[in-house]
Structure 1
Amino acid sequence: MRQIILDTETTGLRAEDGNRILEIAAVEMINRKLSPPDRHLHRYINPERDSEEGALRVHGLTTEFLADKPKFADIVDEFLEYVRGAELIIHNAPFDIGFLNAELERLGRGRIEDYIGGVIDTLARAKDMFPGKRNSLDALCDRFEVDRSARTLHGALIDCELLAEVYLSMTRGQDSLLVDLEVESVATHMVQDHSRSNVVRGPLKILQVSDEELAAHAAYLADLDKASKGQCIWSRLTTVAEAG
């Protein structure tokens, strides 16, 4: 599976106001393995306008620095070929998708959705995983212990690299699930093989949860229920089970 972690920097917050993309970065990941740096795509772009003051404070890319850089029309073919067929992973995807579509429509090239295999919005996923918590990229880096010490200003490439680490941490449980299913399948075959060969098996070991583990689990559910304002389904199931 080919995925592209993507980020843009722009001259302002709203594409509808004529703001443009001035930096774009994309980091390739195949089967959850990051490709070497020479497979990354990173381009500075002449946006053909000045940045708004607030945006300039965020990315620090001046009009003078960008003056001799290619325009979006000059890199559009390279960019579309790079992302073609891939699934994009973006933090706050509506923002970047909106700017990409504005650039493509300006050139009569359709919409980014016409070229890719789908979009994953890590901000939306983070809000589902951590309701009521801060879910900016910085906050997620801190939560998942991703080193962001090199990030002084917002930059598309470093943000992609950080987001790649965050995304892998956010979805690591999915890998565990697949591993569990594989182990279960192997175990089933082993049991079947043993049953055929009349192997004598020892007594089944039963592991019981300690009082400390039960208390820690209850405290975790209470925190989760509080953060979700009483919407934690596990707390409801526990209450029903105890009542039964």
Structure 2
Amino acid sequence: MKDKLNSEIIKNDNDVFVMLDNLLEEKDNEWWNKFYSDREKPIPFFKNIPDENLVSYMDKDLLKKGKALDIGCGYGRNSFYLYKNGFQTTGIDFSKTSIEWGKQIQKEDSSNVNFLCQSIFDFKDTQESYDFIYDSGCLHHIKPHRRPEYLKIISKYLKSDGYFAMVCFNLKGGSNISDYDVYKDCSMHGGMGFSEHKLKEVLEPYFQIIEFREMIETTNENIFGKSFLWTVLMKKNKIFCISTQNQLFS
């Protein structure tokens, strides 16, 4: 009891974040390692196919070829698609099992994706170095108190003329809970569902929304598309462009 009294001390904002992290600790990386360990499970996104919205951005020639970052990439199905469409691609995920799966696929098809096993919160690179950043199913697992930090990290690494795109649960796919409920229940309930209003409230302080829509349900076996997901295409807000430039030259 004395050790606990002497160690569990809140001295600053970061201590509050650590306390909340521990309160919601679900051994996330262990859970995802187990999730990806059985590759034969009938999970729709276990097929090596890209997201419907990502394909649509390519078909419309919206994305400038360059460097791409795929956050929470899993085994890299969207990372591989970006690489094959001319991007120098880095895929990050904190599940060792999923990254090992991606590297195995890479050996078989001679792709050259830079896979890294780490959290976005530990990721380091040059500021404003990515032309495209993609999040397919990561945000709805980010704990609410870490969400602003997460979005600031993306804004930090995104070029001023780059695009950020996201796929996340809507209320048909994720748990219909508030941010407050997460802490009342000490659980993310498997992933938060976002209303259109809530998701825009979360994103608009950081990004200008170019396209916001429900993912198109598809029976095309070469594309992943489920209507229980939102898809959002964005550019960085000017205020964040100026802020990042000031950081670069300060």
> Considering the TM-score relative to the shorter chain, is it more than 0.5?
no
Tell me the TM-score normalized by structure 2. 0.27
- Which of the two has greater strand per residue? 2
Return the index of the structure with the highest Cα Rg.
1
- Which of the two has greater helix per residue? 1
